[in-house]
Structure 1
Amino acid sequence: MNDISLTNSDVVELTAWRRRLHTMPDVSGEEVETAREVVRFLSETGPDEIVEGLGGTGVAVVYDSGVPGMTVMLRAELDALPIEELGDPEYRSKVSGKSHMCGHDGHMATLAAVGRALGRQRPAKGRVVLLFQPAEENGAGAAAVIADEKFRDLTPDISLSLHNMPGIPLGHVHLKDGPTNCASRGMKIIMTGKTAHAAWPETGISPVSAVATLLPALSGISDGSVENDDLVRATVTHVTIGEPAAGISPAHGEIWVTLRTSTDDQMSALVEQAETMARDAAAADGLALALSYQDVFGHCINHPAAADILRAAMDAESVPHVAGQAYRASEDFGRFAKVSKSAMLFLGAGESHPALHNPTYDYPDDLIAIGARIFLAATRQTLG
């Protein structure tokens, strides 16, 4: 593949498209209109194949050289967040209570920029798959894509992704080998006893004592750090006991707690620890216990070979980069490590830029071309 650069016209059009996406956010699992817009925009680049309905609403856009070789997958996310936008750009969200406060609109525009270049000239060998993945924010999307039979024909050898990151200088990159994002899951603990008159609580079975025991016990689980790749932590996020009535001793207690660890192995041990605590507390007071999980994310770990591809690409494009550190936040891109060598880089959105999920966040448009240059250089080095 020759050195293909984006034109000034490309940058203007891609910026306008990113802002269009910003006005029309879809939350996890509801990305129908966003996916339709991706198909419309990328169809103009003349790809060899477009696969729709992947893992739900996902879209894969394929550029095939026709020459045997590896498959390189570049991934962006389709979904927005259930957050009311409080900033006031001209292109602010038109959907009440929903907005692109994580920058997935910019990630999609970056992949669209790559598609523009690949539409003009294919790689020398192999193929590039641009994956627009649904439902990253709730951890369900990557697993659904991989489980989809349509993904079998798209399975990559190398998977690459980026995420913008406020707090890092604009256009600078953090990229490290090994763990980059924590495993996490929301654990719901429900304990059920028997109501009683508040004057005779001894005639019922109340979860109050069990809840009172579990709250400090779960909150006390905190060890290690992301810097040392050994973080283990539980964070209580929601608690309810009984009904808002003064005359009833309660029968129902509910605790929501987020479990977070640097690696999947550590998560298995933490789940066992938290479940044992819950079972012991419930059994001590004769309570029925129900446990369930939501927003389940595996860890994200960069394969050294895939990370080296990105480092070489950044060197070729003179993009400044350092190793950086892992992040407590979770990312479901890590699931692609089970089917390919994968790596994610963190592209600086500016040291004083509003944080991710902040209601005034907005993706810096300058990052579209920078991210695309890195990805195009990575495909050149891998596929020629």
Structure 2
Amino acid sequence: MNPLIHLRHSLHQHPEIAGEETETAQRILEFFKPLQADEVIENLGGTGLAFIFKGKNPGKRLLFRSELDALPIEEKGDPSYRSTISGKGHLCGHDGHMAILCGLGEKLSQQRPDSGEVVLLFQPAEETGEGAKRVLEDPKFDKIRPDFAFALHNLPGFPLHQVITRKGTFAAGSTGMTLQFIGKTSHAAHPEDGRNPAAAISQLILALPEIRKSILGYCLATVIHVQIGSLAFGTSAGIGSLSLTLRAFDQENLEQLIEEVEKKAKQLAKAENLDINIQFQESFAVSKNDPAAAKLAEQAFESLDLEVLEKADPFRWSEDFGLFSQSCPAYLFGLGAGENCPQLHEPTYDFPDELIETGVGIFDRIIRNQSEGKS
């Protein structure tokens, strides 16, 4: 069996979720030992790894990112290398993305770039939107701060090996937002003696469409969870919470949406004499493609004679790579995983092994074109 496919199957069998990727990082480290990278950075932003390959001459530093983490979902498919960890599975293809970067490491080991540096980054905690922030905030990241950053994601529903691109925004930014309204519990027969958050929460839900309309550009506010009081029929609730997912195609629009929801929530809390506590979870920045980075990638697609689909609208889902695109010139693209491939995060999904060679080829061509001055 091809060593990269064997590695991918091994990673698939031993999934680790966000923040727990210790053994996964160790497997990657073992794979890279014989490849003799010029520098290795461990424990980057947690369990992250970076492998640096230096060219013969000075030049641009290119970073290529893959993800270490799996999902807290039980695998229902039946490959021979099915997950051995109950309730966890590589059902987004991060095992395949890692294999692609490992294959790129093999290429760089055999032939360094003519100029510049290449960084292969294995990022933790992509699924929770925490990993990129931790990596970028880690003091060790200064050693690998890139001139350009690249990443791909496999995309079921598109023909196998087709490249899916987009100028500008590739994928939406999003954040989870929980608004907790704190009042006072009372007897259900005397609700006037308490402060029930039901009115504030319901009014906020009803106000969301108007808030969305007030923002120029695509945005979405999705109610994902509501909880008020408890199932005690003699009690008027004194506490409640509303959880939303907010998303937009433009970072400024996303920030404006957050601000407007927060403003309305505080107004309603004040009117109902409630305290309010606001928390954010799983925040993802907008993934925006830089024109200069796009040119490098597009040259690679063309020279490899790949079928390219220019998507009319951004994807509504979010990717943690978006934070890299907010901090340096970056480029994220999709690679078709097959029109009949189960969707990402579905229990029967499995990364197509055929994509490994395609992904390695694209990334390698980007490096060679840049280092040879073909940009």
> Would you call these one fold, judging by a TM-score over 0.5?
yes
Question: Aligned partners of 1:284 and 1:69: how far apart in 2?
Answer: 60
Question: Aligned partners of 1:326 and 1:79: how far apart in 2?
Answer: 24
- SS of corresponding position for 2:305: coil
Equivalent of 2:223 in 236, 242, 257: 236
Residues 1:362 and 2:370 aligned together:
no
Equivalent of 1:150 in 126, 134, 140: 140
Question: Aligned partners of 2:206 and 2:214: how far apart in 1?
Answer: 19
Report matched runs for 1:210-229 at 5 Å.
Answer: 210-218=200-208, 221-222=211-212
Q: CA deviation at 1:243?
A: 1.5
- SS of corresponding position for 2:59: coil
Residues 1:260 and 2:247 aligned together:
yes
Question: Aligned partners of 2:34 and 2:218: how far apart in 1?
Answer: 46
Q: CA deviation at 1:222?
A: 4.7
* Structure 1 unaligned spans of 5+: 1-8
Tell me which residue corresponds to 2:90: 100
Alignment size in residue pairs:
371
Report matched runs for 1:57-206 at 5 Å.
Answer: 57-206=47-196
Question: Aligned partners of 1:70 and 1:313: how far apart in 2?
Answer: 17
* CA contact 2:173–2:322 (8 Å) conserved in 1: no
Taking only the aligned residue pairs, the percentage that are identical comes to: 43
Q: CA deviation at 1:41?
A: 0.6
Q: CA deviation at 1:34?
A: 0.6
What amino acid does structure 1 have at the position aligned with 2:318?
S
**RMSD, aligned α-carbons:** 1.6
Tell me which residue corresponds to 2:303: 316
Tell me which residue corresponds to 1:287: 274
What amino acid does structure 2 have at the position aligned with 1:181?
A
Q: CA deviation at 1:46?
A: 1.7
Equivalent of 2:33 in 30, 39, 43: 43
* CA contact 1:303–1:342 (8 Å) conserved in 2: yes
Q: Out of 332-341 and 174-183, give the one that drifted further.
A: 332-341
| 1:287-340 superposed Cα distances (whole Å, 9 cap, x missing partner) | 111111111111110001111111100111111112114101111212222443
Question: Aligned partners of 1:230 and 1:366: how far apart in 2?
Answer: 38
* CA contact 1:206–1:250 (8 Å) conserved in 2: yes
Equivalent of 1:374 in 359, 362, 370: 362
Question: Aligned partners of 2:169 and 2:214: how far apart in 1?
Answer: 14
Residues 1:332 and 2:323 aligned together:
no
1:338 to 1:268, Cα distance in 2 relative to 1, 3 A: closer
Q: TM-score, normalised by structure 1?
A: 0.94
What amino acid does structure 1 have at the position aligned with 2:369?
Q
What amino acid does structure 1 have at the position aligned with 2:314?
A
* Structure 2 unaligned spans of 5+: none
Question: Aligned partners of 1:235 and 1:338: how far apart in 2?
Answer: 24
Tell me which residue corresponds to 1:6: none
1:64 to 1:351, Cα distance in 2 relative to 1, 3 A: same
Tell me which residue corresponds to 2:341: 353
* CA contact 1:31–1:78 (8 Å) conserved in 2: yes
1:231 to 1:148, Cα distance in 2 relative to 1, 3 A: same
Greater than 3 Å deviation, 4+ residue runs? 219-225
| 1:200-236 superposed Cα distances (whole Å, 9 cap, x missing partner) | 11111111111221222226655599xxx93111000
- SS of corresponding position for 1:126: strand
| 1:267-301 superposed Cα distances (whole Å, 9 cap, x missing partner) | 12101210122112211211111111111111110
Residues 1:33 and 2:26 aligned together:
no
1:224 to 1:216, Cα distance in 2 relative to 1, 3 A: closer
* CA contact 2:285–2:326 (8 Å) conserved in 1: no
Q: TM-score, normalised by structure 2?
A: 0.96
* CA contact 2:176–2:281 (8 Å) conserved in 1: yes
Residues 1:302 and 2:284 aligned together:
no
| 1:55-74 superposed Cα distances (whole Å, 9 cap, x missing partner) | 11100011112421111111
Question: Aligned partners of 1:300 and 1:109: how far apart in 2?
Answer: 23
Equivalent of 1:272 in 235, 249, 259: 259
* CA contact 2:157–2:339 (8 Å) conserved in 1: yes
Q: CA deviation at 1:143?
A: 1.2
- SS of corresponding position for 2:89: coil
* CA contact 1:27–1:98 (8 Å) conserved in 2: yes
Question: Aligned partners of 2:209 and 2:345: how far apart in 1?
Answer: 24
